[in-house]
Each structure stands twice: as C-alpha cells, then as structure tokens.
Structure 1
C-alpha cells in the first residue's frame, strides 16, 4: 500500500462496559481516580476454586440496550459488544441509515466467546439428555457472534469479522479496522473487543495453568503489574469499542475527534503456546512497526498503555521490549497498566485499553498503575504509580500480547488538521 493512497483515520466515538464503569465517562473517571474493579466472584459459587476473585461488570442491564427476547438469545459477551457499540455510535452522533450502511463495518474481537452458554448446555446435556439442548446454543456460543449481532443491531452492512487471537483480539480488531478505512474500503468501522469468561471452567483452567492471582484475601491489591510481588493476572470482563472514521467524512459532518490512529504493528514470537519469548524481541518489533507505520520516532512517544498483566513473565518481558524498541527514550516515556484496575479482559482488553489510550490523548491525562508498592529490578521504567498524571500526550501506544505469541501495538496521535 503506497502512502499516497492512504486515507487518514480518526476516532470519533467510544463505548465502554467495564468493571469500573459502564459508560465511557464512568470508565475514564474510574481510571483517573484509581478505582479498583476487583472483588470476590459473585457470578457463581467459587468456594472450591483456588482463585476466587475477578473483575466483574456491576450494575449492567442488557435491557437498557436490547429488548428482552434479543438479550435472552445472546451470551453476556455479545450483549456487552452491542451495548458498547451503541454507546460509541451515540457518542459520535453517527447515524447508520440505508444511505450509508454498506460503508460502515464492524470488527469485534473475542478470545473465548460464549463459554458460559457452553458450560450451561453441557450440564443440560449430561443431566437431561441431548434432545434438551437449546437450538440457540451454537449461535450464542461462537465468538464471531459479537460482530454479527453488533451489525444486526446497528445496521452496519460493511466489512465484518472477528479476530479470535486470545488477548490481542480487541487490538487486532482495531488495527484491522484501521487498515480497512485507510485503504478506502469503508467510511467508518465499529471496532474493539469483548469478553465474559468469568465462569467456573474458565477460572479453573487459568488457575490450573498458574496464570491467575490467588490473593483471595486481598482482592483490591491482587492485580499489581510491574510490582515485585505480583502473582498472576485477575480475570475481568466487559467490552471496549471505538468508532473509526475516515477523516474527510468526519470533518464533513463536524464530528468531534478524540485522536487520529496512525500506526499498527503486529508480530508473532513463534516460541511457546503461553510464555512470551524472553527478551521481548518480537514484542519490540511490533512497537517498531507501529512507529514506522506512523512515521514517528521513539522520542515522540508520550505514553504507553502497557499490556501489563501482573504476571512475572509478561511484565518483565514487556519492559525489556519497550527498552529494545525505544532505546534511551524508554526511560522518558510514561507507562501504565490499566489492568491494575480493570483486571485482564482477555479478548476485550485491547478494546478497553484502546479507549483508555485515546482518552489519554484527548484529555492530556495519564491513568495510573495502582498497587505498585514494591519495585522490581527488572521493571525499572516510569509506570505512573498510584495516581494519574496531567501531561501533554501527543503520541500514545497501546500494547497487547497473547497466548500463541501474538504481539500488537496500536499508535494514536493528537489530531492536527
């Protein structure tokens, strides 16, 4: 793709259903105040589990966005996606009609999909027999249904897909949507990620893999990215959605612009199913590719929203990757992990973290990394501990990494016409 063909792409709307707020405004307020979204699991009886804590979405009612019949035929992850997408369209004051429907698409990533439906229907199968399984089981379970029902409920008839790349799914969705608008295949794209995997089997599986925190006695301090005493991530749920729009189209309708998306880099470790490649070489290359795509230098980066999972391997590797990618500028950039507040939304994390990154650019405020009490010699960068920071944010990156070795970096810049 040659540069002269590229269209500029801007963010004109955001939507968020999260453990710390169910609107973009509440989510952003929660980030700036260091709100903790983690507590004991209430979605099921977790008393037999090694991990009994999670970051649940509270106070969410799907009937605020959907009629009862439609809501009943969707898994929670799909409900989140539709709700956040409708928020983003409303936030952008963007109307999809018969006149533009084919020029608006939806890409919504999900790493797990409808695991709650699968678990429930397995129980029906075992206790009541195969003939009693729901005819809606498969369409409620499959991960692509978030993108499908988002299109159904918004009317978007343009490009539609669902990255299922585990914890980079939401970031891949934003990057892929960026490319679609950039090359002129759509005027606007609804994009991001969603997940609702706080279920008995999911928690058991992550605990068996020793991936999650077991700080059950102190859930408020369980997610502690870059801290010496971190012991695993905390599973979260929710959805984060951006409305990306071709610049000239946005200007023609006097849209408010949060930021311009300017870069997308993705690589693979090709190393291990679950562990990152030591040294972070390919994660660093994703950062470098995003900067190259955006024609930006390392010293221009103001802020990085880190993947920052609160696992021993990830946080040290991501720190090494940032140093490798930015060189001496790594020590001058502000970095934070919003997972310290929201937990890890798996396929939804890239979506809500893209929203957080865009809001940082728009508001010149950097969310903190809470619970960073004890420094780790391997994690020696500026992680904005405890409190938010007022700072001009000209360029911001959002990093996402995943099982399978996926690495994604998105680059956003303050909009200048």
Structure 2
C-alpha cells in the first residue's frame, strides 16, 4: 500500500515585535501581552493613530527575509545540496512600499540566489492572503508529487505609505489596542512580520528531522462582495473552511482551535463569526477561537505565515493563545473566545484563517501528532 503524501513543516522561523525566532512568537502569543507602542520609524505627527507593533532594531526587508529563510532551512537540516533545486514562494507587498528597492520578482530571485535555493521562484502580492495562498500552493505541489520540498517566505515591515492609507481610511484603532471579536473594538493596528517555513514531503525521512506539524488541508474562496467590506454572511470564508476540511477528510469537530483572521474591526469580525457558524453549525459555539493579531498586529502580506507558525507551535505545545484586548462579549460574534489566560488543549488539528480586500479568503488546517 502506497502511503499518501503530506506536506510537513520541517523548519520554521519568524520575527515580529514579540521577538526573534519561532519560540519568541509562541511565548508572546501565550503571554497575551500586546507589543504595540509608539512608531519612531517615520513621522506620525499628522496621523490620527501613532502606534504599531514594531521591532526596535530591524534590518532592511531583503536582509530580514534572507535571515529568516536561512534560519528556517537550518532548522530543517537543509545543507547546500538539499537547498539546491528547492523552490522559493515569496509573499510581499507589490506596491509603493518596495518602490525604492527591487520589484517582488527580482527580490525573489535575489533571495533564492543568496540563500542557495536554485529552484524556481514565484511571488504573491495578493494582500492579506498572500502568504497563506503561497502555503496552499506549496502543499498542493508537494502532495501531488511535483516537488519534494518548498520554502515559503513572507515579509512586511511597517512603513509610512501603508500606515497612512490605513489611518486615512479610519481602519486603525484610535485607542491603541486590537480587540478581536470584543465589544468596544475600534479597529486594527499594523505590525512587523517576517517568516519562513520549509515544507517537505513525508517521504523524506533521511535527516532525522522531526516535523513541527503537517498542512493537512487548505481551502481558498472568493465572494467579490465589495472592494473593502467583507460579505456579511461570511460565505466565502465558510467555503474556504469547508474545502480545507474536505481535503483533509475531517469533520468540523476535529478542529480544536481557530486562529482567526479577526482584525478588531466591527464588520470583518462579525462576518468571520458568521462564517464559522456557517461552516461549523452548532460546533461554532464550542471550538476555541482567538486572534493573535491582538498581540503582534496585522502584518499584511506576511500575516498568513506568521500566524501559521504560531498556530502550529501552539497546537504542538497544547496551549491556545490569548485573545488580548477583550472588553466583553459582542452579540454579533457569538464564539468561544480564549480570554485572560492560555487554554490547555489535547487537540490535534487547528485552523488558521485569513481574508483580504476584494473578497479573498483562505483556510489552512494544521495537524500534529
């Protein structure tokens, strides 16, 4: 009997205002202490909001991405021979933020050469589902037998252009806190995020590396409701969740945790709650839910990868991250939100969800054990 191929996470690395390294992300998410503070990277004097979750000392985005890729490869035990021929899927912003540097396509080629990845490259600039879409593509290629391993990297460092756009659009939280699913939530806050992961086929066991987790399922769906506003019923996101579960051959009750996209904005959080009820039925009121954006902020194109790393590590440790900023229940978000302290779990599967402007939705299902 031939064993089905699965996509394993064999090396992970991430950086955010919570610290450097994957362990720092998990520790910060479990502590539930938000990393938001005054922005001193650029002038915010003309802005309504002046805070974000930024690293105190940070290199250029290319340097941070190269360091993350190298660290993830080393964690996976990839020597130069095993890096050769390995594809790089890169999720970054494709607009003005990179105007002073290389285009995303050129950047991907430079990073591949710099880190010894001599396979093909592909870039993803589809806003807040960029990284999660890249992971889905990588998992699909591995499980279909097209490739043995893929490196997925993603990065966003808070900069003035996107900060100004979100501030002008009144999307940033004027009270300086992200409060997903909570009564009194005022909006999102941006945050630095750079991450890299190595995904490999289950057939490669030669190095004795223990997988962190598997990408058991993935789903993508669009609803095309509005350029910026989410579809209120959450139909697109629910279809993405359904697809991830079908691909894994699992029922909703197998999901022991959801790291939600929840940004702390009124409409998107309510739509996501509706999506979970649509996808899970009565189980939506039971499954533990939180959004780690409440502590590390919204890393835009990198969000999906940063949150995948946190979700996989939390599931492996058996502790679910805190939904920080909680003020009280909101009738539009009837969910089992993890508040106050981390919650112990013996669950073996978790979902991490992402959504983007234009109605793009993704769901990644990770498993351990």
Q: TM-score range by the shorter chain?
A: over 0.9
Maintained 8 Å contact 1:82/1:149? no
Q: Secondary structure at the match of 1:410?
A: strand
Partner of residue 41 from structure 1, selected from 14, 39, 42? 39
CA offsets per residue over residues 85-134 of structure 1, 9 Å max, x none?
A: 1121122222232x6511x111121234661x53xxxxxxxxxxxxxxxx
Partner of residue 400 from structure 1, selected from 338, 354, 361? 354
Maintained 8 Å contact 1:301/1:396? yes
In the alignment, what sits opposite 2:8? 10
In the alignment, what sits opposite 1:106? 88
Partner of residue 104 from structure 2, selected from 127, 143, 161? 143
Displacement of 1:22 in angstroms is 1.2
Distance 1:48 1:355 in 2: 35
Distance 1:383 1:241 in 2: 28
Displacement of 1:32 in angstroms is 1.2
Distance 1:145 1:413 in 2: 34
In the alignment, what sits opposite 2:56? 58
Calculate the TM-score normalised by the size of structure 2.
0.95
Q: Which moved more, 1:202-211 or 1:76-85?
A: 76-85
Partner of residue 310 from structure 2, selected from 356, 366, 369? 356
Partner of residue 247 from structure 1, selected from 202, 205, 219? 202
Calculate the TM-score normalised by the size of structure 1.
0.84
Q: Give aligned pairs, total.
A: 368
Maintained 8 Å contact 2:26/2:314? no
Distance 2:132 2:356 in 1: 11
Write out aligned runs for 1:219-368 (5 A): 219=176, 222-249=177-204, 251-368=205-322
CA offsets per residue over residues 149-198 of structure 1, 9 Å max, x none?
A: 33122211223211111001011111111112112222111114211242
Maintained 8 Å contact 1:77/1:238? no
Q: Secondary structure at the match of 1:264?
A: strand
Distance 1:144 1:333 in 2: 40
Maintained 8 Å contact 1:113/1:196? no
Does residue 1:157 correspond to 2:118, yes or no? yes
- Unmatched runs of 5 consecutive residues or more in structure 1: 63-75, 119-136
CA offsets per residue over residues 367-410 of structure 1, 9 Å max, x none?
A: 11011122111112112013111211211111000011110000
Write out aligned runs for 1:146-225 (5 A): 146-199=107-160, 201-215=161-175, 219=176, 222-225=177-180
Maintained 8 Å contact 1:168/1:407? yes
Structure-2 change in CA distance of 1:11 and 1:405 (3 Å): same
Structure-2 change in CA distance of 1:55 and 1:174 (3 Å): same
Displacement of 1:145 in angstroms is 4.4
Maintained 8 Å contact 2:83/2:116? no
Distance 2:121 2:3 in 1: 22
Maintained 8 Å contact 1:114/1:143? no
Q: Kindly report the root-mean-square deviation, in angstroms, between the aligned alpha carbons of the 2 structures.
A: 1.7
Distance 1:255 1:91 in 2: 9
Distance 1:164 1:369 in 2: 28
Distance 1:288 1:78 in 2: 36
Maintained 8 Å contact 1:80/1:238? no
Larger Rg: 1
In the alignment, what sits opposite 2:66? 82
Maintained 8 Å contact 2:217/2:365? yes
Maintained 8 Å contact 1:192/1:352? no
Distance 1:158 1:311 in 2: 40
Maintained 8 Å contact 2:236/2:360? no
Distance 1:5 1:146 in 2: 37
More helix by share: 1
Maintained 8 Å contact 2:54/2:191? yes
